[in-house]
Chains A and B, each alone.
Chain A
Amino acid sequence: MKQKKLNFQNREKLGLVIGIVVLFIIMSILAEGFFSWYNIHNLLRDSSILLVVATGMTLVILLGKIDMSAGSVMSLTAIVTTILLANGAHVVVALLAGLASGALIGLLNGYLVGIQKLDHFVTTFATMSLAKGLALVICDGDIINTGNNDFKAIGASTSVFLGLHVHIWIVAAIFAVMLFVLTKTKFGYRVYSIGGSEQAAMLAGISTRGTYILSFLISGLTASVGGILLASKANNGNATIGDGFEFSAIATVIIGGTPFDGGRGGLVGTLIGAILISLLKNGLRFLNITPSLQYVIIGLVILVVIITDVIINERRKLEELRRVEQ
């Protein structure tokens, strides 16, 4: 019974992995200094911040929704955390307060989308502005230096445990938990069901509200973690620290094979997507390609992935139709 055919989605993932390997080999040959543990470790560290934000985003996109507020939540969390530290708060208190700010925005999103049935895009677009505005008001536009050694220790490049940076461990833990939740628990099943067909889910007696709220809450929390990691890396708080990060996170999820209409895909794809994007950015930097051109290339990669997805789906549909006719 163990014979498992490589289905379309797995084939797509395999394509991405092959892409990563090829890209890695090309970069190693072309770019001097790329193939070193120092750089690879850096790359992993960069991808971990992207991955954690994209993890929460994956849940929301699996539901067929989107969370535009993720980047601003990162900024807000960074400001809340660092300003408390700068005013002498204990590091644990400051971190919890930072996470709470993300949780609040997440809950608000979940409440408005899940219970008030507001449009998810407009809602999170509004909370995006709200969170960013709050961050700017709190810090008054300044960059906040914490002067807190415990906080600095989270982000310092010397904070290595068993050969890997603390950031990587934190994100790996969160990712593992979320992977478990999404594939093994009722909540995870519900995310897929509602995203696949809200009507089918409701006709099966599933209540959608709780799932929406929890998913947006998790997205807010993972964005907060991303904000904390970014701030600890810079060792300061800045109200623009997460600007545009939601787009990178969304791109990661889409490249990883979770489409906007939800219901299919998952976290493994997101992991692959995060590595691919970080690899591209890192490698292109080594090849002295300007950040502006990096945008162009990443845009093209997203297009390629989406077009492949469309072609594969089209083929699948045709195959199904043929089966119906037979």
Chain B
Amino acid sequence: MHDDVILEIRNVSKSFSGVQVLSGINMRVRKGEVHVVVGENGAGKSTLMKIISGVYQKDGGELLFEGKPIEVKSIRQMQEMGISIIHQEFNLLPNRTIAQNIFLGREPVKKRGIPVIDIEEMNAKSRELLGFLGLNVDPRTRVSSLGIAQQQMIEVAKALSFKSKVLIMDEPTATLTRNEISKLFEIIRKLKNEGVSIIYISHRLEELKEIADTISVLRDGALVGTLDAKEATTDKIIKMMVGREITNQYHREFCTEVGEEVLRIDNLSSYRFKNVSLKVHRGEIVGISGLVGAGRTELIKAIFGFDRFESGEVVLFGKKYRRLNTSMTTRLKVGLVPEDRKDEGVIVEMPIRENIVHASLSQLFKNGILNKKTETETANKYVKELGIVTNSIDKHVMYLSGGNQQKVVVAKWLCAQCDLILFDEPTRGIDVGAREEIYEIMNALVKQGKAVLMISSDMPELLGLCDRIYVMKDGRITQEFSHSEATQEKLLACSI
């Protein structure tokens, strides 16, 4: 058994700015197998793969390739050794041809005379690779004129052109249709027969059965276990993925009597989500569960008027809208606490004071002239109310911790007197103490008769906080649960 192990991961760990994202991972990949790695969002799958492929450096542990310990220094070194990765986001140049993309950075050069790029050879070799993958396109075609599935194949071709022995695919099917997926699987089988090992990351359990030989489950940066695919059942995998006990840090009194409806959307569609309908009432916290890429963020941004939607309508506070923009929604007293806090939530270069008031300038300063005294009083009020830890309201937001930054974002919307606040991953990257405070704030909001719609990938959080939970998958709502019906297993089962 041992001699056909091609890649061994021994005790690998990694932390980012003090947060441990991987701890003591051990894994063995055999020659010519499809080794599937599953885990919830944030379990550390992608980080592990980036370490293997040379994008990140590990903090501790060892990697053994073909029995010999290796020191990973660069992506190029790993590629030449025979380990390539296909990242979740494609890294193709849309304005260049297929051949130019496949040979990016290592174009063949004519041996004689001036070092001219040998375009004929590049095209010929690319044609060969495309032929092997069963792709009938001219290698001189621009990548931008290809569909997503074909672009995926170009990434595969690129990886193969290194004569890879280990090919890592990070959620390759996330953007593919059924048909395209089965084509990809055909190719994976073909590669397997050629002796290529494939590390396949996914959180779509249904598709694993078709291709997996071995399944490793990660949770919270640690390996929970490795199973033979034959003995793995979906239930077993889900249990391993979820694992932990729900501790009660939420202190939520669920609402017994809902207030009036503040938000209703009917058959809302855009290119990232389809026919979504949902409702939110005063006094309610409503959650949206689902996997990364299910279209949740896009949906919430469309409700906020940040992204356009193509059809359907949004009813806010009883009025119908077919088109929204952010200045309309903020005037209607809707606020968004976005996932990307640093770029979209706060203005890091501005002090707390200005961050808090800048969404409500016309409310605070009716005559259009700023008044520092009002500004200071208002900001102080919210800093105290939300317990933002700082020695001065003139401190720039970039110097605050994640939790305090998040409170500033919330303060901004409270200051604007919002009645509906949309939260996108409200506690991501926030330490436990501050998390609880955020939960308290949300609790207090709905007690005052306001409404909250939140997205979270943290299922215990949704279960602990929400009166109702919608589950989204591939841009559609698959199920709605009341607080009493919902369990982690049910949520996960509807989202994969």
Contact = CB atoms under 8 A, between A and B. Distances in A.
Interface of A: 1, 7, 184-186, 189-190, 192-193, 196-197, 199-201, 203-206, 263-264, 316, 320-321, 323-326
A27 to B, nearest CB: 34
B116 A185 contact: yes
Contacts of B144: 316, 320
A321 B75 CA distance: 31
B62 interface: no
B271 A189 contact: no
B92 interface: yes
Interface in B88-145: 91-96, 100, 104-107, 109, 114-117, 119, 138, 142, 144-145
Contacts of A326: 147, 177
B105 A205 contact: yes
A263 B115 CA distance: 22
Contact of B105 (A7, A184, A201): A201
A83 B197 CA distance: 68
Given A185-B117, A203-B55, A263 B91 contact: no
Given A203-B55, A204-B105, A186 B115 contact: yes
B138 A1 contact: yes
A200 B107 contact: no
Nearest to B146: A323
Contacts of A1: 138
B104 A201 contact: yes
B87 interface: yes
B324 interface: no
Contact of A7 (B74, B115, B142): B142
B76 interface: yes
Given A197-B93, A203-B75, A206-B105, A184 B142 contact: no
Interface of B: 55, 74-76, 79, 87, 91-96, 100, 104-107, 109, 114-117, 119, 138, 142, 144-145, 147-148, 175, 177, 271
Given A7-B142, A186-B117, A203-B55, A192 B105 contact: no
A316 B144 CA distance: 9
A204 B54 CA distance: 11
Contacts of A203: 55, 75, 87, 91
A133 B100 CA distance: 43
B100 A189 contact: yes
A186 B109 contact: yes
Contact of B93 (A263, A321, A324): A263
B234 to A, nearest CB: 29
Nearest to A3: B138
B115 A206 contact: no
A36 B75 CA distance: 60
B428 to A, nearest CB: 22
Contacts of B105: 190, 193, 201, 204-206
A264 B95 CA distance: 6
A179 to B, nearest CB: 13
Contact of A200 (B74, B91, B119): B91
Contact of A185 (B95, B96, B106, B115): B115
Contact of A199 (B76, B91, B148, B177): B91
Nearest to B127: A1
Contacts of A197: 91, 93
A204 B104 contact: yes
Nearest to B94: A196
13 contacts: A184-B116, A189-B100, A192-B93, A192-B100, A203-B75, A205-B74, A205-B79, A206-B105, A263-B95, A320-B144, A321-B271, A323-B147, A323-B148
Contact of A196 (B95, B107, B147): B95
B99 to A, nearest CB: 11
Contacts of A316: 144
B319 to A, nearest CB: 30
A219 B87 CA distance: 35
A161 B94 CA distance: 43
Q: Which of B93, B106, B107 has the largest count of A CB atoms less than 10 A from its CB?
A: B93
